[in-house]
Amino acid sequence: MAEKKATKATATKKAVAEKKETVKKAAATKSTKKSALVIDATNAGYKAGDVYNALYAAEKALSVAEIAKAANISNEEVILGAGWLLKEGKIKDAEGKIVLA
């Protein structure tokens, strides 16, 4: 009977494979925490101000993502503020983008 002898290279490969599994497990357990969007009149008013200021500074129609980037707020907060401004008649739709009325 011929038995296989464990070589140094085989042992090293096994150790590297086990190490990679450990690293993958550590990365998989990483969790991200998201902050909840508070919906009340005060917060909606502040977000409306952020949206209005971003549109005023740009002086052109912007998408929701562009407004979020310019105002440094989330897309959901842009939509919240835009709803407020739409109700007041301050903004309007221009080819799928938002522009000051």
> Which DSSP letter does residue 29 get?
T
For 17-49, how does the pLDDT look when each residue is reduced to its tens digit (9 = 90+)?
555 555 555 555 555 556 788 889 999 999 999
pLDDT bucket at 16, cuts 50 / 70 / 90: low
Arithmetic mean of pLDDT, 54-81: 97
Q: What pLDDT is attached to residue 36?
A: 84
74 has pLDDT over 60: yes
Q: What pLDDT is attached to residue 21?
A: 56
- Cα separation, 68 vs 37, in Å, equals 14
Across the chain, what does the average pLDDT equal? 82
Inter-residue contact 68 to 54 (CB < 8 Å): no
Pair of tokens at residue 80: 């919240």
Alpha carbon 8 to chain centroid, angstroms: 47
